[in-house]
């Protein structure tokens, strides 16, 4: 079983050369439109069409955020949380994330839930954490759907409810979440919230295993070794014990 909540960090790929898009964004910021300021900031945060520069990214995210741009508010919060281009400040980071979350940004809602869950920038409060995870989960954000399932399975901030946990794991699994597939497989294997179905559990483990999930790979190996949910196959058991590498 995946025994922890999900934490998500954005990835910022680098390109590092000047492009027409960046020049257009630079021209657009003179209009004072928050969306243009946000796009200009993203160029610096990701190194998209220019050299990566977190200080300039934060400056332009902040301008967009102060004009009510929800994604800008989320980005300011993220940069403050991680000290990117600005001195790290968890409390201010949380406050900006909360503004964006209240504005309907599901990524910000997830991070607010994470902050309440871990006590980062605010007092730890599992009930509030679940409330914000559910808002992001309802919007279709898979990591929040997984965390909602985890909270219901383990009774964090709410009375344990295996049926509800299964429903959230299933929704996240349908969006390709490997941890959700693993935990949903465990629910089918042990009969938690659903009828015990080792065959379905194996199929879920296998999907996650093919995505490189190490614990799922171990479960697939054990299933082939013991013939639970699938015909026994020693060769495939060895294959998955090695992480899907050729024997």
Distances (CA, A) of 64 to 57, 100, 182: 11, 12, 40
pLDDT of residue 245: 62
Which pLDDT tens digit goes with each residue over 60-84?
A: 999 999 999 999 999 999 999 999 9
pLDDT digits (tens, 9 = 90+) for 154-212: 999 999 999 999 999 999 999 999 999 999 999 999 999 999 999 999 999 999 999 99
Is it the case that residue 17 has pLDDT exceeding 60?
no
What is the pTM (predicted TM-score) of this model?
0.86
| Residue 116 pLDDT exceeds 50 | yes
- According to DSSP, residue 42 is labeled H
List alpha helices for the chain, DSSP H: 20-28, 34-46, 54-66, 70-82, 90-102, 106-118, 126-138, 142-154, 162-174, 178-190, 198-210, 214-226, 234-241
Confidence band (pLDDT; 50, 70, 90) for 32? confident
Contact indicator for 52, 14 with CB cutoff of 8 Å: yes
* Mean pLDDT for the stretch of residues 94-123: 97
* Res 87 pLDDT > 60: yes
Q: How far is CA 237 from CA 87, 144, 175, 242, in A?
A: 50, 33, 27, 9
Closest CA to 188 of 205, 209, 175, 164: 205
Flag whether pLDDT at 246 surpasses 90: no
- 53 against 5, higher pLDDT: 53
| Mean pLDDT, the chain, integer | 91
Residue 20 has pLDDT above 80, yes or no: no
Instruction: Give yes or no for residue 14 having a pLDDT over 60.
Output: no
Q: For 6-10, 43-47, 191-195, which range has the lowest pLDDT when averaged over its residues?
A: 6-10
pLDDT of amino acid 4: 62
Question: Contact 194/173 with Cβ under 8 angstroms?
Answer: no
- Give the start-to-end residue ranges of the domains of the chain: 1-160, 168-247
Residue 8 confidence (pLDDT): 66
Fold of 1-160: 1.25.40
Give the right CATH number for 168-247 from 1.25.40.10, 3.20.20.120, 3.20.20.10, 3.30.450.370. 1.25.40.10
């Amino acid at each position: 079983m995946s025994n922890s909540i999900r934490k998500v960090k954005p990835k910022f790929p680098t390109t590092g050369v000047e492009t027409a898009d960046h020049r257009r964004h630079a021209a657009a910021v003179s209009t004072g439109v928050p969306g243009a300021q946000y796009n200009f900031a993203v160029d610096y945060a990701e190194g998209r069409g220019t050299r990566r520069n977190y200080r300039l990214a934060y400056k332009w995210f902040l301008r967009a955020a102060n004009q009510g741009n929800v994604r800008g508010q989320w980005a300011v919060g993220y940069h403050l949380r991680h000290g990117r281009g600005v001195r790290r400040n968890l409390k201010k980071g949380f406050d900006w994330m909360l503004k964006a979350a209240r504005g309907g940004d599901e990524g910000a809602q997830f991070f607010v839930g994470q902050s309440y869950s871990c006590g980062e920038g605010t007092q730890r409060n599992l009930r509030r954490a679940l409330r914000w995870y559910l808002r992001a989960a309802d919007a279709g954000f898979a990591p929040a759907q997984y965390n909602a399932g985890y909270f219901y399975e383990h009774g964090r901030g709410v009375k344990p409810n295996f049926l509800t946990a299964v429903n959230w794991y299933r929704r996240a699994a349908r969006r390709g979440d490997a941890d959700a597939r693993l935990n949903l497989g465990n629910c089918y294997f042990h009969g938690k919230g659903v009828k015990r179905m080792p065959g379905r559990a194996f199929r879920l483990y296998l999907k996650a295993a093919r995505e490189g999930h190490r614990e799922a790979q171990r479960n697939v190996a054990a299933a082939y070794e013991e013939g639970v949910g699938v015909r026994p196959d020693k060769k495939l058991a060895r294959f998955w014990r090695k992480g899907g590498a050729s024997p």
